[in-house]
Structure 1
Amino acid sequence: MPLIAQQPYVKVKREVHSIEQIDIELNRMIYLYDDKVVTQHREFPVTDVLDMSYRQVGGDGGLLYLHTIKGVYTYTVKFSPTKFIEAFKVLKDN
Structure 2
Amino acid sequence: MSGEALAVQTCIEIRREIRGIEEIITEASYEMKLYEDEITVRRERFPLHDVFDISFFRNHREEGAIGFLYLHTKNGVRTFYIRENPDMLIEVYKKLSAKEL
Q: TM-score, normalised by structure 1?
A: 0.90
Matched, 1:92 2:81: no
Unaligned runs of 5+ in 2: none
Runs of 4+ in 1 over 3 A off after TM superposition: none
The partner residue of 1:57 within 51, 59, 70 is 59
| Distance in 1 of aligned mates of 2:18 and 2:73 | 32
Unaligned runs of 5+ in 1: none
Q: Which residue of 1 aligns with 2:32?
A: 30
Residue 50 of structure 1 deviates from its aligned partner by: 0.5
Deviations 1:50-74 (A, max 9, x none): 0000112212341111000111111
Q: Which residue of 1 aligns with 2:8?
A: 6
| Distance in 1 of aligned mates of 2:24 and 2:85 | 27
| Distance in 2 of aligned mates of 1:34 and 1:15 | 38
What is the total number of aligned residue pairs between the two structures? 94
Provide the secondary structure at the position in 2 that maps to 1:90: helix
Residue 22 of structure 1 deviates from its aligned partner by: 1.1
Q: Which residue of 1 aligns with 2:44?
A: 42
Structure with the bigger percentage of strand: 1
| Distance in 2 of aligned mates of 1:74 and 1:41 | 16
After superposing the two structures, state which structure 1 stretch, 31-40 or 52-61, moved more. Answer: 52-61
Provide the secondary structure at the position in 1 that maps to 2:6: strand
- The share of aligned pairs that are identical, in percent, is 33
